[in-house]
Amino acid sequence: MTDATTPETKTPWGGRFEHAPGEFQRRFGASLPVDSRLYAEDIAGSIAHARMLAQQGIISADDGEAIESGLIGILGDIEAGRFTFETADEDVHMAVEAELTRRIGEAGKRLHTARSRNDQVATDTRLHAKRRALEAIEDVDHLRRTLIRLAEAHADTVMPGYTHLQKAQPVLFAHHMLAYFWMLTRDAARLRAAYAAADALPLGSAALAGTTFPIDRTAVARELDFAAVIPNSLDAVSDRDFLVDITYACALGMVHLSRLAEEPIIWSSDEFGFVTLADDWSTGSSIMPQKKNPDFAELVRGKTGRAVGDLVSLLVTLKGLPLAYNKDMQEDKEPAFDAIDTFEDCLTAMAGMLSTMWVEAQRMRQGSLGGFMAATDLADHLAGRGVPFREAHEIVGKLVLACEREGRTLQQLTAAELAEASPAFGPDAPQWVDIDSVVARRDTPGGTAPGRVAEQLMLAREAFAADEAWLESRCD
């Protein structure tokens, strides 16, 4: 930090300051390590801004062209790895502008006319958030497709359905997989809402109050493909809702993935044995030669903490900030980006793991015979014959207790034994406990009977197609 350095190379706020920050301050205050990810959006925003300035006569056409071609050159150099950001730069905006001025001279210094970093960073971040939301939706859809395929492939596989991790009633594996499809369908909707929240232009709000130049915000919005112009300049520079929305979508999405991840962890245990994970989606132990661990599922489950932590981080940071921009808001991007990165990776991991895992259909079916899972049907059978449901429940509960003590299953009870327990049991009562019939009997919309699951699968494909159509319309 010698005096020889002219102030403007050190900071963008020159004249009023007699001393520039030291090394620690530069590092501590720098957002470049995070916001350098925004370079493409920053350049796109600057090009749109420069075009508008020229069109409105605020800068000359020549300056406008020089700026645009200069920026295109920088973009190309960054993407080709020929230009890298220096740690001395405070943020991506100043880094790009400084490089532009080095390349095209005076004109570069005119680019910042009629804007402030406050509206510039808001614009860059919204462009980035929109792009990342679409990418995340693609990853969600990749996993949704995987679930649909699993459901298609296992239309007949019967497995124990659980509540409280206790065997409850048999269900189709396809039904189980589709439950997660619908969770993810809601995640996609939440990401679309976050996309819409980001889809309005802050540029033109300048520092906080608008600008004195005769700018055309609508033209810039059109150029950058924003659906609207933010109607209040104070709100434009201080609103980070769209980042919280996308982080929330990722955090709840991660909670869903943590639930989905829990299943193969439990299922691949020696005791359950319902699935065998592919070798390349498992890991071993450095000490125990026999181990084959569901590491990827565990990592997904563990990373849920990150995403929830990211959401908390953002909410805490924003709490209590008066209008308009406050520097605290620089802490907005890292948690949001981390949540999106995490969610996208975990979606990919789950899709890879689920699509390669071997479903041990025979173990599942065998497991469906235990746990007295036909007990509800026996009670329903009684209720259908006029016994109030609460009494039917009591009668069957006692039968279960007796069977358990004698080590028998419900399937082993004879019609005579049933009749002894309650005269209301019909002669066909034993047929009510056959596992396939138990599944087939849940033949109402949303139920697990094969026909109903096929019906549901069609609904799932329709929902998926509609979402894909939206996505394509946005990604053109």
Q: At what angle do helices 39-55 and 117-153 cross, to 10 degrees?
A: 130
* H-type alpha helices, 239-294: 241-267
| Closer to a copy of itself by Cβ: residue 47 or 121 | 121
Near a copy of itself by CB under 8 A, which window of 37-45, 127-135, 248-256, 423-431?
248-256
How many CA atoms are closer than 13 Å to the CA of 2, on its beta-carbon side? Answer: 2
| Closer to a copy of itself by Cβ: residue 278 or 416 | 278
Q: Is 335 in the site for a copy of itself (CB under 8 A)?
A: yes
What does DSSP say about strands 200-201 and 228-229: parallel, antiparallel, or unpaired?
A: parallel
**Helix, strand, coil share (%) of the chain residues, nearest 5:** 65, 5, 30
| Closer to a copy of itself by Cβ: residue 405 or 472 | 405
| Closer to a copy of itself by Cβ: residue 327 or 472 | 327
Q: What is the DSSP string of 344-401?
A: HHHHHHHHHHHHHPEE-HHHHHHHHHSTTTTHHHHHHHHHHTT--HHHHHHHHHHHHH
| Closer to a copy of itself by Cβ: residue 214 or 423 | 214
Q: Is 229 in the site for a copy of itself (CB under 8 A)?
A: yes
Angle at 408 between CA 273 and CA 362, to 5 degrees: 25
Tell which one of 36, 85, 352, 470 touches a copy of itself (CB under 8 A): 352
Q: Is 227 in the site for a copy of itself (CB under 8 A)?
A: no
Torsion of Cα atoms, 450 then 456 then 460 then 465, to 10°: 100
18 is written with which tokens? 């007699």
| Closer to a copy of itself by Cβ: residue 76 or 316 | 316
Q: Is 298 in the site for a copy of itself (CB under 8 A)?
A: yes
Tell which one of 103, 131, 292, 474 touches a copy of itself (CB under 8 A): 292
Q: Binding-site residue total for a copy of itself (CB under 8 A)?
A: 194
Separation CA 8–CA 14 (nearest Å): 6
| Closer to a copy of itself by Cβ: residue 76 or 285 | 285
Q: Is 282 in the site for a copy of itself (CB under 8 A)?
A: yes
Tell which one of 84, 86, 390, 423 touches a copy of itself (CB under 8 A): 390
Q: How far is the CB of 53 from a copy of itself (least distance, A)?
A: 11
Q: Is 170 in the site for a copy of itself (CB under 8 A)?
A: yes
Q: Is 280 in the site for a copy of itself (CB under 8 A)?
A: yes
Q: Is 405 in the site for a copy of itself (CB under 8 A)?
A: no
Q: Please say if 142 is a catalytic residue.
A: no
Query: CA 288, 293, 299, 302 torsion: positive or negative?
Result: negative
Phi first, then psi: give them for residue 413, nearest 5 degrees.
-75, 140
Site for a copy of itself in 173-202 (CB under 8 A): 175-176, 178-179, 181-183, 186, 190, 193, 197
Cis peptide before 392 (omega within 30 of 0): no
What does DSSP say about strands 166-172 and 200-201: parallel, antiparallel, or unpaired?
A: unpaired
Q: Is 319 in the site for a copy of itself (CB under 8 A)?
A: yes
Could you give the string, one character per residue 37-76, with x where binding to a copy of itself holds by CB under 8 A and - elsewhere? Answer: ----------------------------------------
Query: Strand, coil or helix: what is 246?
Result: helix
Q: Please say if 154 is a catalytic residue.
A: no
* Catalytic site residue from 19, 164, 286, 473: 164
Tell which one of 28, 84, 428, 472 touches a copy of itself (CB under 8 A): 28
Q: Is 321 in the site for a copy of itself (CB under 8 A)?
A: yes
Closest CA to 250 of 337, 156, 331: 337
Catalytic positions: 164, 285
